[in-house]
Amino acid sequence: MKNYRGFLCVFLFLSCSLRDGEAPARLEFPPLPAAWTELLGSPRWFVRYYAGGEREAYLEDGGEFSLPPSATGPVFAWPYWPASRLEPGDFRPAGLILPCDALPEGAGRRLVLSWRGGVDAWFYRALDRAALENPAAGDVEAPRRGGNFNWPKFRDLFSDPSVPQELREDPWRADWEAIAGKTLRSGFRKQWLTVMETQALSIPAPPGPWISPSPFAGALEFGDGPCVFPTGPGPAAQAWYSAAGILHCSGESWMLLPWE
């Protein structure tokens, strides 16, 4: 399979699709984990951002994009592999937050997405969704929403040794929706940063390697011993991918689907 190295740069130029009052942007995607590339090859990208409403774009190695100077909020980029029937959302997104992560470049801006930025963008959206779902949310909760959150301080926490090491290594092991709900009710606290409970599930599966949807998680590879996968206690399925197919684990149940 093709190797995917360095930054995949999608250059977004001023064109007839550029809207009035908007400027071009240059979007840079992060490199994929080597294990993803070895198994799946190069992805396409599904981009979602917010500028006077929700906007979306499907990008590969080119495309056009326009962005108003006032655009704020999260930017997501999900890798997906249509040839393997893997859709946007099957793997965790890269991302960034506007305007704090945008870099000026000529008449437009340079947007460098990162895997850590995908976590930030996800939590930003979770904070705003928690506010919308809370009928009592008002001005008192405004500082706890994504647009007013202290993102530099939040990002520094992942260098804080008092935060669980498992979470510093893989931030997707936190329940960001639950943390957002607690933040809306009583403000953000470092104590909310805890690792979701998992249990070990032994499965008679091929030895791997098995890759996770999280870009931070290393591939699992088993020798002659049992294949033991971490799985959550609830009904939400955790997926793992290998040359043998897609393994869905949930609680004590599992299903291995071969590639079609």
Helix/strand number for the chain, H first, E second: 5, 14
Among 79, 87, 67, smallest CA distance to 37 is for 79
User: For 28-32, 51-55, 76-80, 110-114, which range has the lowest pLDDT when averaged over its residues?
Assistant: 51-55
Q: What share of the chain is helix, strand, coil (3-state, %, to 5)?
A: 25, 30, 45
* Mean pLDDT over each residue of the chain, to the nearest integer: 84
Confidence band for 11, pLDDT divided at 50, 70 and 90: very low
- Supply the pTM of this predicted model: 0.87
Taking the mean position of all CA atoms in its chain, how far away is CA 83? 21
Range 190-203 burial, b when 16+ CB lie within 10 A, else e: eebbeebeeeebeb
Confidence band for 47, pLDDT divided at 50, 70 and 90: very high
What are the pLDDT digits (tens) for 12-42?
333 334 455 677 788 899 999 999 999 999 9
Six token digits for residue 104: 């000026």
